[in-house]
Structure formats: structure tokens, C-alpha cells
């Protein structure tokens, strides 16, 4: 064979092997990369996963592009994470600052609870680096604590304001008395005003003491069987004097044999506040009706008046502390604005509820519903509406 032909064939074979070798190398590299990508899952620093599992707070771990690597169930429940995405811009701003400055940040944020609605959650968030490429967000739900603090601060501010008014009035009236010592008619007039303001001050202080006692009471541990009929009798007896002063008749309808578990003094206080409220806002020469019945494991006590009634807006706020439907009239009648909030607090502590039916010009009916004591076989008598009203607030 021609030596030149042999050389050409050998060269072609060598070139072919070379091309196949290069192709095989490239295919091998691609396969290795694919294997690396498939098994290169995010790995937290050693021990981090174990610590996060017992930290007791909602947590989110994000990578360099804010993708969610790990998140606790609480983080999803709070609405901080959806899928593999951090929901709120405020949290992403914190991760960006930590990534840029390498510092630990802590903020209290008010965030939307979900994609729809007006619900919000208040969380204390701490953001810090976790290893070299991850950022950890720790979130503590402080919604209830914050709400309680706001209520307490508002209560203190309102009490200060409410106490200032009668105290200031008594001080001014005392000065007027001193300068009018020779005018008997003026002395009597100012003395009557002082008596009225001092009574109002005493009522406010008593209600504040009552609220403090309510917050310290533990009905679940210190309660006992209570006969609701006795509660009604005692509350009505305590309200007879203000009723007689306006010639208002208190009528009781119905009786129940079942008992409730709780604190009799607190229940008397709650019902007395409802009766006094009905008397205070009822015209003279009218009636206040009290109906009671037991049905489906609940004891319902209704207090119905023949007053002016309440608008829908007032009904939504009437159980708030210090809220008055008519401020000027409340001051005239001696209302403190705490009575209905005390009622709501007492009944809630007994596992019950208080509801309101009212329409302008048709009076109001407040209904207390309390659970019967377990293990009873109540034999309640059907009451009649003592005030001659509809079934509006009497049904359980």
C-alpha cells in the first residue's frame, strides 16, 4: 500500500478519536454538573436546624435572594410566608439591611394577617445573619400584649380625666361657698351641687374599685353553685330606692330551678348595674321588666326598659369603658360610663355573654346568658315578658 495513503488514513483515525474524546469529556462534565445541581440542596450551618426546632418562636430562613429555605408552621400561620416567598415588604427591607451592614436588627411591626380583610398582627421581629449566606428572621406575636397595654393606658388616661371633673367642681363650689357665707340661699344651692358632685365622685371610685376586684377574681377556682333567683331578688332589692324616686315599677317574670357556677356577689353587681341603667334612662312613671328562663343549657336574664332606645352606632360601642350615649345627660343622671363594661366583664368571666336589643323610641333589652351547671335536670317555668315587650331579648 502506498505509504502516503496509509498516513492519511492514520491521520483521519486520530482526528476521529480526538473528536470523540472531546465530546465524551464535555458530556461527562455536563453530567457531573447535573449531579451537583441535583444534590446541592441548601444546607444550614451545623446545629442550626436543631436550635430552630426548639426556639419557641416563628422563624424564617432566607437565602441570598430572599428565597425561603426554612420556615416554621407558625410563620405560615402568622401570614409571614406564602409558598417559598416572604410576604411583607417590611421583612424584606430588614433582610436587605442585615445583608448590607452585617448587623442584627430588631423591630416591632404591624403587618396584615392575610391576603384579604382588615386583620393585623403585631410582631416583634429580629433579623440576623445565619452562617455566611443565610438570614434568620425570628418573630414573636405581641398582638394581645400590645392590645392589653393600650387598654390599660387608655383606662388610666380616662380615669384621670373622669376624676378631674368632679374634683374640680367640688373645689370651685367650695370657693363659692366660702365667698357666699352670708347668703343662705346661695349656700344651700352650692351645698346641693357639692353633694351631687361628691355622690358622682363616690360612684366613679366605687366602679373603679369594682373593676379592680373583677380583674383579681378567679371565678373558675373560687366559684360555687349560685341560685339565679336569689341573684335577681338581691339585685332588685338594691335598686328599689332609685326606682321609687322616679315612681318606676320593677316587675319580675319567670323563675328557674337550675343553678349556675360562679360568684354570687359579682353576678348581683352585674344585674344591678343593668337594672340601675334601665331606671336611669327610663321616664318617670314607667316600668322596668326582668324576665328569666332556662333553655338548652343556658339561663337567660333580660332587663327591659321603656326608655328612648339606642341607635345602631351607640349599640356597637355601649359596652366600652367610659362611653356615654349622651354625655350631658349621663352627667345629669350620675352615670359613670363604667357600668356596662363591668357587666360585660362579669358575664365573660362566668363563661356567658351579654347582648342588646334596642331601637330608638322603643326602649332597650339587655340579655345575660349564662351556662347552667353540668349534671342538673332543670325544670324551668316559662316566663312572661315582664315589661310587656316582645320576645326580643328574653329568648335564650
Task: Give the pLDDT confidence score for residue 386 in this predicted structure.
Answer: 42
Same fold, 56-141 and 143-216: no
Distance CA 297, CA 362 (A): 30
Q: 330: how many CB neighbours lie within 10 A of its CB?
A: 17
Domain limits, the chain: 56-141, 143-216, 220-396
Residue 80 near residue 58, CB atoms below 8 Å: yes
Does 56-141 carry CATH code 3.40.140.10? no
pLDDT for the residue numbered 172 = 85
| CATH architecture, domain 143-216 | Orthogonal Bundle (1.10)
Q: Which CATH number describes the domain made up of 220-396?
A: 3.30.565.10
φ and ψ of 140, to 5 deg: -120, 120
- CB-side neighbour CA atoms (13 Å) of 239: 29
How far from chain centre, in Å, is Cα 40? 47
Neighbours of 134 (CB within 10 A): 21
| DSSP 8-state assignment for residue 383 | P
- Alpha-carbon distance 212 to 159, whole Å? 13
> For every one of its 396 residues, what pLDDT tens digit does the chain have, with 9 covering 90 and above?
555 555 545 555 555 555 555 455 555 555 544 333 333 445 677 777 777 777 778 899 999 999 999 898 888 888 899 888 999 999 999 999 999 998 999 999 988 876 544 567 889 999 999 988 899 999 998 887 877 677 666 666 666 666 777 788 888 888 888 888 788 888 888 888 888 888 778 777 776 776 666 655 555 566 789 999 999 999 999 888 889 989 999 999 988 988 888 888 889 988 998 998 889 888 899 999 999 999 888 899 999 998 888 777 766 667 766 555 554 444 444 455 677 878 887 888 788 888 888 888 888 899 999 988 765 544 434 444 444 443 343 333
* Distance (Å, whole) CA 379 – CA 370: 16
Burial 17-30 (b: 16+ CB within 10 A, else e): eeeeeeeeeeeeee
User: Do the beta carbons of residue 289 and residue 246 sit within 8 Å?
Assistant: no
Which of the 8 DSSP states describes residue 381? B
- The verdict on pTM exceeding 0.95 is no
Cα–Cα distance measured from residue 251 to residue 231, given in angstroms and rounded to the nearest whole number:
15
Amino acid at each position: 500500500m502506498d505509504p502516503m495513503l496509509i498516513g492519511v488514513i492514520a491521520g483521519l483515525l486520530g482526528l476521529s478519536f480526538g473528536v470523540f474524546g472531546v465530546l465524551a469529556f464535555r458530556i461527562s462534565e455536563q453530567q457531573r454538573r447535573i449531579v451537583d445541581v441535583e444534590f446541592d440542596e441548601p444546607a444550614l450551618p451545623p446545629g442550626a436546624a436543631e436550635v430552630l426546632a426548639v426556639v419557641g418562636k416563628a422563624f424564617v430562613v432566607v437565602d441570598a435572594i430572599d428565597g425561603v429555605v426554612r420556615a416554621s408552621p407558625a410563620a405560615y400561620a402568622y401570614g409571614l410566608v406564602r409558598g417559598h416567598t416572604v410576604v411583607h415588604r417590611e421583612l424584606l427591607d430588614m433582610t436587605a439591611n442585615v445583608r448590607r451592614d452585617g448587623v442584627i436588627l430588631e423591630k416591632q411591626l404591624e403587618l396584615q394577617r392575610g391576603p384579604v380583610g382588615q386583620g393585623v398582627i403585631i410582631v416583634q421581629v429580629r433579623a440576623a445573619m445565619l452562617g455566611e449566606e443565610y438570614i434568620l428572621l425570628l418573630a414573636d406575636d405581641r398582638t394581645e400584649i400590645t392590645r392589653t397595654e393600650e387598654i390599660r393606658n387608655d383606662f388610666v388616661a380616662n380615669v384621670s380625666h373622669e376624676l378631674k371633673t368632679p374634683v374640680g367642681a367640688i373645689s370651685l363650689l367650695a370657693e363659692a361657698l366660702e365667698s357666699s357665707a352670708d347668703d343662705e340661699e346661695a349656700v344651700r344651692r352650692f351645698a346641693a351641687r357639692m353633694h351631687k358632685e361628691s355622690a358622682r365622685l363616690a360612684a366613679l371610685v366605687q366602679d373603679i374599685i369594682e373593676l379592680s376586684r373583677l380583674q383579681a377574681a378567679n371565678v373558675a377556682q373560687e366559684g360555687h353553685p349560685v341560685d339565679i333567683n336569689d341573684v335577681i331578688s338581691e339585685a332588685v332589692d338594691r335598686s328599689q330606692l332609685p326606682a321609687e324616686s322616679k315612681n318606676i315599677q320593677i316587675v319580675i317574670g319567670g323563675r328557674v330551678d337550675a343553678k349556675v357556677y360562679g360568684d354570687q356577689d359579682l353576678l348581683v353587681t352585674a344585674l344591678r348595674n343593668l337594672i340601675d341603667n334601665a331606671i336611669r334612662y327610663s321616664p318617670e312613671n314607667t316600668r322596668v321588666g326582668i324576665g328569666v328562663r332556662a333553655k338548652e343549657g343556658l339561663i337567660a336574664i333580660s332587663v327591659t326598659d321603656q326608655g328612648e332606645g339606642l341607635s345602631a352606632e351607640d349599640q356597637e360601642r355601649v359596652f366600652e369603658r367610659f362611653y356615654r350615649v349622651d354625655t350631658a345627660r349621663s352627667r345629669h343622671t350620675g352615670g359613670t360610663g363604667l357600668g356596662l363594661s363591668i357587666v360585660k366583664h362579669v358575664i365573660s368571666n362566668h363563661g356567658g355573654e351579654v347582648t342588646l336589643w334596642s331601637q330608638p323610641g322603643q326602649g332597650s333589652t339587655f340579655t345575660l346568658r349564662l351556662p347552667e351547671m353540668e349534671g342538673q335536670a332543670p325544670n324551668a317555668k316559662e316566663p312572661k315578658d315582664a315589661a310587656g315587650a316582645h320576645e326580643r331579648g328574653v329568648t335564650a
